Amino acid sequence: FIFPSYVEDIMGPELFDYGYGPFRWVCLSGKHEDLVKTDKAAMDCIDPARRGQDKDNWIWIRDAEKNRLVVGTQARILYQDAPGRMNIALRFNEMVRNGEIGPVMLGRDHHDVSGTDSPFRETANIKDGSNVMADMAVQCFAGNAARGMSLVALHNGGGVGIGKAVNGGFGMVCDGSERVDEILRSAMLWDVMGGVARRSWARNANAMSTVQDFNQS
């Protein structure tokens, strides 16, 4: 193409290479007050001074209720990196355990760091030739299954047409149990960092620094 796509130029280097992507949750109680509580809990898990991306996402979740974004299902989407998603997920599960909210289903969009192989979108900023391979999404899907996610899915298409993308998705029910805590500590990181590692192998500078920081934490 003459012009780079938005993933090549912006989302890839500024979000996906750091592990930021569309983390989602649904309050299964159907109660709006549960969604408000999860918004506040998620906001408390984000340090807006860490990166510009964190500040933007902190403002987003702070103002989500005011902007009246919900139609029907009590659900929210919030861009977060691997540690952020894990910390928020663990906090939600703790809230369920303490009786503060009802069960919560976690998930994400397929337009994310690790879950999709799509050379014209999600993997467009991977320049080592592996952007046309379908292994990352399959490994993400299989690893999530092995780690105990409540459900996993492997599907096709996703904005660019059948046969031009492979997507691996998941759903995880936070029921308040310690068993779920253990799954979250492993699976939430796997779901993101596989894609960051892929980008690091391609020598994407921001992905390389993210992997180095992750391995030292």
- Domain with residue 40: its CATH number is 3.40.1770.10
Range of the domain at 162: 6-216
Q: What's the token pair of residue 58?
A: 């902190």
pLDDT > 90? residue 160: no
Q: Which helix (H) or strand (E) holds 211?
A: helix 205-216
For residue 149, being part of any structural domain is answered with yes
In this structure, are residues 130 and 73 in contact, taking their beta carbons and an 8 Å threshold?
no
Per-residue pLDDT tens for 6-57? 999 999 999 999 999 999 999 999 999 999 999 999 999 999 999 999 999 9
Give residue 72's pLDDT: 87
Q: What is the pTM of this model?
A: 0.95
Per-residue pLDDT tens for 99-120? 999 999 999 998 999 999 999 9
For residue 105, being part of any structural domain is answered with yes
Give residue 178's pLDDT: 98
For residue 1, being part of any structural domain is answered with no
For residue 156, being part of any structural domain is answered with yes
Minimal CA–CA distance to 93: which of 169, 188, 170, 168? 188
Domains identified in the chain, total number: 1
Residues 133-159 as b or e (16 or more Cβ within 10 Å = b): ebebbebbbebbbebebbebbbeeebe
For residue 196, being part of any structural domain is answered with yes
Selected residue with higher pLDDT from 214 and 217? 214
In this structure, are residues 93 and 25 in contact, taking their beta carbons and an 8 Å threshold?
no
Instruction: Grade residue 1 by pLDDT with cuts at 50, 70 and 90.
Output: confident
Average confidence (pLDDT) over 51-74: 95
Minimal CA–CA distance to 60: which of 107, 23, 13, 97? 23
Phi, psi torsion values for 206, nearest 5 degrees: -70, -35
For residue 41, being part of any structural domain is answered with yes
In this structure, are residues 129 and 82 in contact, taking their beta carbons and an 8 Å threshold?
no
The separation between CA 170 and the C-alpha centre of its own chain, rounded to angstroms, equals 10
For residue 137, being part of any structural domain is answered with yes
Please tell me the distance from the alpha carbon of residue 58 to that of residue 40, in angstroms, as a whole number.
10
Average confidence (pLDDT) over 117-139: 93
For residue 79, being part of any structural domain is answered with yes
Find tokens 């930021």 and name the residue: 20
Residue by residue, DSSP assigns 140-181 as HHHHHHHHT-SEEEEEE-SSS-TTS-EEEEEEEEE-S-HHHH
37: CB partners within 8 A, 6+ apart: 95, 100, 101
Give residue 29's pLDDT: 98
pLDDT > 90? residue 2: no
